[in-house]
Amino acid sequence: MTETTSESLEGTRASLLAELTRDIADQRVLDAMGCVPREEFVPAEAASVAYQNRPLPIGHGQTISQPLMVALMTQALMLTGDERVLEIGTGSGYQAAVLSLLAAHVVSVERVPELAASSTERLGRLGYSNVEVHAVTDELGWPDGAPYDGIIVTAASPDVPRALLDQLAVNGRLVLPVGSRSIQELVRIVKTPEGAQRHNLGSCRFVPLLGRGAWPEPR
């Protein structure tokens, strides 16, 4: 990367962080967003626009989420630093990298084998040693590592999957988009001893979550 390109990225990163402060109150989340080099998690041809506040394609029909949505979902987990967190949908590994700076350990699962392999290499190369990535098929989550203090889902489900609630610890938080294939509501589920409490966080739009308990595989 040339010095000019590096300076340009620093400028756009600073602008993005300033924009995020309008909606994000958790300083730990803002600090993590400022530390993770987003240009490392997008294709080389998109590096110059890595800090624009919009989703970007990463191949295999998947995207890296808009930075504001990453920050909002991360903030909704209400992390303090000692949690075990499960991420559904590793993608390029960007969200996992942000989470790794805010939690004790991150387990991330990915249905696309090529993305699981590339994100594992990328996270290891960049030093995010408290993240483990697993390639999965149609089972939601990673029950072998449960219970989790937080679960974040970066794809949209028609409802809150029972399988994920079962993997959530008591007083844990589950953040995911719920709704139709075209428009969803971002929700936070808090699992209490008395049952699940739901908090609506605003409209959003994500690719569909595929697997048992979510959307069926396309024929």
Q: Kindly provide the residue ranges of all beta strands, DSSP E only, lying in 137-217, ordered along the sequence.
A: 148-153, 168-179, 184-192, 195-204
| Type of residue at 138 | D
Question: Does the annotation count 203 as an active-site position?
Answer: no
Rg of the chain on CA atoms, in Å: 16
Alpha-carbon span 60 to 210, nearest angstrom? 14
| Type of residue at 44 | A
Give me 73's structure tokens. Answer: 């979902």
Coil, helix or strand at residue 165: helix
Distances (CA, A) of 200 to 33, 43, 147, 193, 204: 23, 33, 23, 20, 11
User: Considering 6, 8, 15, 65, which one is annotated as catalytic?
Assistant: 65
Catalytic residue positions, numbered: 65
